[in-house]
Amino acid sequence: ESYKARVEYDGGVVEGDFLYGSVSNSTSVAGIVHLRDDLVCLGDGLSELVLVRNPGSLAEFNNIVDGVLRQSYDNEDLMIFHTRKARFTFEKPVAWTRDGEAGGEYREIELCNYHCPIQLIF
């Protein structure tokens, strides 16, 4: 199932019909999405926002598959952005998961990456 959404992130807005969206700070999400090590820095205070549009044609579907296989996330169908904050707005409630656990249904959700919010003293 795809979802119509507006996604706001540091530096931009993307609107469309999406099959997949995630905000993470990892090179692997659920064993499905694998990001290159050079795309993810665990200590930079940024999350990786990954969006996959619902393909409207066989050519767009091939574009997505090609991007996944080449780990190239720089086209209009398969996108990655580095951001401190992401806000998703949907037309209807959408189920979310947090680290694989059910997280409820929301029409609007905002996720933030708080860089070094706790100082440890050794």
Tens digits of residue pLDDT in 87-113: 999 999 999 888 778 889 999 999 999
Largest CA distance in the chain: 56
Per the CB < 8 A criterion, the answer to whether 78 and 15 are in contact is no
What pLDDT was estimated at residue 32? Answer: 66
* Confidence (pLDDT) at 74: 77
Cα separation, 9 vs 83, in Å, equals: 6
Mean pLDDT of the chain: 88
In the chain, pLDDT over 90 holds for what percent of residues? 42
Weakest mean pLDDT among 20-34, 51-65, 92-106: 20-34
pLDDT score at 82: 93
- Taking the C-alpha atoms of residue 77 and residue 18, their distance in angstroms, rounded to an integer, is 9
Q: What is the pTM of this model?
A: 0.84
Token look-up 């806000």 returns 87
